[in-house]
Amino acid sequence: MNEKRVKFGAIGASNMGLLHIEAIARSPKMELMAVCDKDPARLEIARERVLCPSFYTDWRDVLKNPEVEAVVLCVPDGLHLEMTEAALAAGKDVLCEKPMALTLEECEAMRAAEKKYGGRLMIGQICRYTPAFIKTKELIQRGEIGELFYVESEYAHDYSIARGADDWRVDPRREPYIGGGCHAVDLLRWIAGDPYEITAYSNHKCLTDWPVNDCTVSILRFPGDVLGKVFVSIGCKRNYTMRSVFYGTKGTIICDNTGTHITVFKEGLKEKDPLFTGKRDYTIPVQYPVSISNHNTFGELENFAESILQDAPVPTTSFDGECTVAVCVAAAESARLGKAIEIQYPKEEL
């Protein structure tokens, strides 16, 4: 079979870039046409990993390549706007890494470019492709734990060894709640809807040489009287985790992007069991095995390619990406001002 493949160019070939490049190279839906990194040493590593006709150190060369139909941007957050605008202007579809951008103004400009040039813009909210979270959402939608009343997620990741190429993460504009916390926020939005109010508190005790607070705890209010919490730490001393808990009226789900299973607690046999004395807990924990794939770039890219091949909307739109940033910006503002903030979402139509 000689099915049509989407021809990709990748800009940024380091941590996330290599994951994307390798995923494109092994997918029957995609073809890798160009790889770019401004750092020749990183480009060399990519060259050893994948077969590809063109390697560039100038990202504009990827956009000039007529063979490239779509680009994936795996570069520092502060470059997302400039590269997205230029790629859309060059007629390419774009998959841009999260967070969409560091400010709502930048997000708006990206959406305006999408509208102006008519290309597709997808934001890489990878938690929507994490097997544990997909299973969790499916169980909740099926009513397995009843009606949600409290949801929580966290982004706990020690950045002391993850400063990024040229230390790009050590940036006063890059609030950890936006840069990393956007994962936890997006996960809760995906499952519990759009929160309307947030109260956050931050401190700065771990990465004391960084220009930003390294820990934030926030309380959120979701539609339907659902309460929520997001915890973000970029200085914690532990392995990366996004442990998340979904409490429903008939059960509870504990899940993680780095665990081998999710645990579902279901209401037990209390009423039916004649021996029930009130002293034993009949709540039944069930463990569902899940594959650990906390960076499922393959699934994400295949969905993006599919939407191009089918001429269909992308699964995680730029509007969604901006809504997630809107919550994160409100969290940072709440922590700064010391008060609850009503979250201001963008208008869907620009």
Ligand X SMILES: NC(=O)c1ccc[n+]([C@@H]2O[C@H](COP(=O)([O-])OP(=O)(O)OC[C@H]3O[C@@H](n4cnc5c(N)ncnc54)[C@H](O)[C@@H]3O)[C@@H](O)[C@H]2O)c1
Binding stretches for ligand X (CB under 6 A): 11-17, 36-39, 42, 59, 74-77, 79, 97-98, 124, 126, 164-165, 168, 179, 295
In whole angstroms, the minimum distance from the beta carbon of 160 to ligand X comes to 15
We find the least distance from the C-beta atom of residue 11 to ligand X, in angstroms, to be 6
Residue 29 has which token pair?
A: 């839906």
Comparison of 12 and 228: residue with beta carbon closer to ligand X? 12
> Is the CB of residue 97 less than 8 Å from the CB of residue 81?
no
Query: Do residues 101 and 81 touch, judged by C-beta distance below 8 A?
Result: yes
Residue 143, sorted as left (phi over 0), alpha (psi -120 to 50) or beta, turns out to be left
Q: Which structure tokens are listed for 107?
A: 């997000």
Return d(Cα 109, Cα 236) in angstroms, integer.
34
Element (H, E) at 308: helix 297-309
Taking the least distance from each CB to ligand X, the nearer of 20 and 111 is: 20
Number of helical H runs and strand E runs in the chain:
10, 15
From the CB of 286, what's the least distance to ligand X, in Å? 28
Smallest gap from residue 154 Cβ to ligand X (A):
14
Closest-CB residue for ligand X?
A: 14
Minimum distance from CB of 319 to ligand X (Å)?
A: 19
188 contacts 166 by C-beta, under 8 angstroms:
no
Say how many C-beta atoms besides its own lie within 10 A of residue 136's C-beta. 27
Find out whether 234 and 180 touch, Cβ atoms under 8 Å. Answer: yes
Q: Closer to ligand X at the Cβ: 13 or 332?
A: 13
Alpha-carbon distance of 279 to 262, in angstroms, equals: 27
Query: Which of 250, 269, 308 has the alpha carbon at shortest distance from 121?
Result: 308
Q: How far is the CB of 42 from ligand X (least distance, A)?
A: 4
Nearest to ligand X of 18, 330 (CB atom): 18
- The 3-state DSSP class for residue 1 equals coil
- Give 81 or 219: the residue with its C-beta nearer to ligand X: 81
**Residue 42 or residue 135: which is nearer to ligand X going by CB?**
42
Looking at the Cβ atoms of 31 and 37, the one nearer to ligand X is: 37
**Beta carbon of residue 86, minimum distance to ligand X (angstroms, whole number):** 11
Matching residue, tokens 């969409």? 100
